[in-house]
Amino acid sequence: MRQALIVADEVSAVRAEYAEEEAEAAEREAAENAAALEVSLSLRITRELDLALKRRAAQEQISPSALIRRLLRQATAGGDEPVLTVQQVEDIARRVMRESA
């Protein structure tokens, strides 16, 4: 009997956590939709890319449109800066020289 109550409490806690996560996701999506422009894009992609996008969206449990918006946002957000600055490379080279001496 006690074990059943413990399991019931755990199930209840998991359900509450899941409901909270779903509510947060719905709020984020509503905010994105409110701030979004309704723009249609026409793209020519391969069947393989289409399937890969749909598969990834399903794995992440989001719509393909949401996945593509995120990928486009990431692709256009900066990306012009180098992976390492000149100063960082010089610091690494100095550290390697010190440690190997």
Mean pLDDT of the chain: 84
Domain ranges of the chain: 1-36, 39-101
Report DSSP letters for 33-98, one per residue: HHH-----------HHHHHHHHHHHHHHTS-HHHHHHHHHHHHHS---S-SS-HHHHHHHHHHHHH
Torsion on CA atoms 89, 73, 24, 50, rounded to nearest 10: -110
State the pLDDT at residue 81.
Answer: 66
81 sits in the region (left: phi over 0; alpha: psi -120 to 50; else beta) called: beta
Q: 56-76, pLDDT tens digit by residue? A: 999 999 999 889 989 988 888
Mean per-residue pLDDT, 16-35: 80
Q: What pLDDT was estimated at residue 50? A: 94
On whether the CB atoms of residues 53 and 65 are closer than 8 A, the answer is no
Percent of the chain with pLDDT over 90: 21
The answer to whether residue 49 scores a pLDDT higher than 90 is yes
